[in-house]
Amino acid sequence: MRTVWTALVAVFVWMAVVGGVTADAAQPVTREQVLDIAKELVTPGGCPSLTLAECTLPTAFKIREEIAEMLAQGMEKEEIIQALVDKYGKGILGAPERKGWGLVVWSMPYVVMGTAAVALAGWLFHRRRRSAAMAVNLKRAADEEEEETIQQMLKKYL
């Protein structure tokens, strides 16, 4: 009886191992998986404003096929991107890396917008203060003119 149980356990273990391997290998690579990676890349030498997922050049089709082959081999997204960068250079990346000079490129729009916002706020504050001071000066000048006119009228009628 013990050998029967051992044989059954061995068969179940073998089925789990072999079934698990074949189940993983049998899953086909989907278009969405390929496009998920392709949307982070651009086609080298063409379509600079389109991602690899959107480009219709023959080179783009070839690279998407490479991505599908790498996915079928079980490579992860980061590994595939790194392999393509090694093969085609950093120009294939759809966005600058977030380190070194790439970090400067990523942060520059925020720095420029922040500086522009501070400059605009300062200019508006200065302009508002200046126009308020001018209004006070105009009011004083108008008050002096009125006072003079009133004094002349009083002298005339009294």
pLDDT tens digits, one per residue of 109-158: 888 888 988 988 888 887 777 777 666 666 676 677 777 887 888 788 87
- CATH code at position 16: 1.10.8.640
Domain count, the chain: 2
Partners of 93 in beta bridges = 41
Instruction: Please report, rounded to a whole number, the percentage of residues in the chain having pLDDT higher than 70.
Output: 70
- The answer on pLDDT for 16 being more than 70 is no
> 42 near 51, Cβ under 8 Å?
yes
Are 6 and 73 within one domain?
yes
pTM value surpassing 0.75: no
Are 71 and 104 within one domain?
no
Mutual orientation of helices 31-38 and 77-88 as an angle, nearest 10°? 50
- The answer on pLDDT for 91 being more than 70 is yes
Q: Name the residue range of residue 157's domain.
A: 97-158
Are 24 and 91 within one domain?
yes
User: What is the pLDDT averaged over residues 62-77?
Assistant: 92
What was the pLDDT predicted at 69?
92
